[in-house]
Amino acid sequence: MEFLAPAKINLSLAIKARREDGFHEIETLMCPISVFDRLEITARDEGGLEFVCDDPSIPSDDGNLVVRAAKLFCGEIGIEPHMRIALSKQIPHGAGLGGGSSDAATVLLALNGIFETLLSRETLSAMAADLGSDIPFFIYQSAAICRGRGEQVTPVSFSQRLPLLLIKPPFGVPTPWAYKQWRDSSEIPGVPYEPQILEWGTLSNDLERPVFEKYLFLAELKRWLLKQPEVSGALMSGSGSTMIAVLNETAGGMPLGEKIALEFGTDLWVYLCETVATELPPRGK
């Protein structure tokens, strides 16, 4: 059986404080977008868990969230895994788009359906929180406000289908590093950090300050995007390194992509997509 694992973007991200456990207290609005990894799960007669991926840079052992999620689920319901999981990657890693977290959450949701265990989203979310802070968000398959270290998920309706152009340079940003640098970082003069008030809501990201200090390319890319007539807003997603351009209309995406290539080179990952409109899922479903 094949399952789609969507990416996400952070439309807003506020850091409240550093916690005693080393994480940071945050409040963020996250929304799924139309960029997907694909997972194919099939039974294995010989038993055990086999994991393969079309990206050779992805680990295939217990360092991979997909493997850990499958083993956690099987352990929780008391069965031995007899399955093969094949992952096809489209979401770049180190991008602030939650690809690995979405893959893990999709495995939990998929196995819950395959084995007909009827575990609630709340139960699956609690399992997911043991694996990573962003994973519970993907369990709810909805836009959501996430608090705590990200594991406290409140689904919200998000009816907009915002046309987006995603731009990722050929480097990632380590999330723990970005949070560690936040408190002592400074703004770069001339770079816009203030919240952007749009018709549907606000774009803002507190992690732009530390990330832009080290990765000046991202600061310059944001500044350039905000000058383009096709763009109504621009923001870094999560801890980066992906920049989001919110477009005035979908047709503006590809010409903008061509302009980006002329201005910044062709070694960028550029992808035209949109936010996925969501309604509140029924409680317990």
Q: In one letter, which amino acid is 179? A: Y
Whether 138 and 105 have beta carbons less than 8 Å apart is answered as: yes
Give residues with Cβ within 8 angstroms of 25, minimum separation 6. Answer: 15, 16, 17, 18, 19, 147, 148, 149
**Which one of 8, 37, 103, 222 is the catalytic residue?**
8
**CB count in 10 Å sphere of residue 267:** 8
- Is 8 tagged catalytic? yes
**Which one of 103, 134, 168, 206 is the catalytic residue?**
134
The DSSP call for residue 193 is -
DSSP reduced 3-state for 180? helix
The DSSP call for residue 252 is G
- Is 184 tagged catalytic? no
Q: In one letter, which amino acid is 33? A: I
Q: Phi and psi of 122, rounded to 5°?
A: -60, -40
Catalytic residue positions, numbered: 8, 134
